[in-house]
Structure 1
């Protein structure tokens, strides 16, 4: 596998493989973005899709996500996450449209990598903090309207053409290989590569019978990454 299939070669850019519907990935990204902001680091993130529903051939079960969200939010209350508060009929059954929009936003006419990362963060906030159905384009575009660097009109036209879908499927093919271990997996310059950084946890029994137990979350994993 070529290096450029795994990571963006730009030294300022962190490549993150993840699913928007993965709480562990959302925790890692929140940690990374907050640390970069605190240190006034001009961070760029190149998002690559790790589409769990394509790997598992089914939507990610709500009872698994809810258990992980409660576990993480209990340990990191500053995230502001909450259990799903919307109608059950509005619960996102797929995150593919959201991930496609994040890929589509990379186009320069829409905003580039900065817009793509801004949209990714906003979509995660909409799901984890606001209980919004990020499976549908009207919600995705409404979220995009609040993103400073996203040209929402251009994004809407791009999504109508199917932009972003081919990229998500191409990433899925790459992620089937040994280089990407799961969601999240972060790559950067100087050989930095880590899967689900900072989190030490296990399920007490199989999902549906047990619960995830977070033994530790050490956010200091960002230090060597931001020092590159």
Structure 2
């Protein structure tokens, strides 16, 4: 007998009531997703994250009292097991990088349809990043940009194993954990272990920083 997988529980944070309620109705029709709460601003999103313990928060960025970046940072600090997927109008470099640095695992613009939102939510619940293609290009562009003068240059002697270096190049290519596992014929758990070691060795906090390292240390070339 196949064990039934529980639905992904999400909270939607969006300041415009009509948009928020429409999203709740739309996303609620996606298989395997249940909307358990709605927040009109970042403050409420942080509170509901603690009260409802959702798997994922679908987060707008421009909201009153507490914007989506700050709300994401606070949620990840207080509840690291909860993932955040940004769904916003903005796709410019500043918003993208700030949201990813705050801990967001997915980033979509509001041009996304319900199937794309559903894929991003399910991916985040599984610990995988899914970015809008335009956002992906901006992340790669930021990775190619010179690091700030105050930041130490990445060291080339991180001593990555051949397998870890291969995984790093696949991360830089935008592959999800599931895709990397399929290509390397290993489990997703093994991929996560490789990625954790890569982060530790390269001093990266997230995939965006690992991509920057991959380009600057010469593992990937434009």
| TM-score interval for Structure 1 and Structure 2 normalised by the shorter chain | under 0.3
- Larger Rg, first or second structure (1 or 2): 2
- Length-normalised TM-score, structure 2: 0.26
- Length-normalised TM-score, structure 1: 0.26
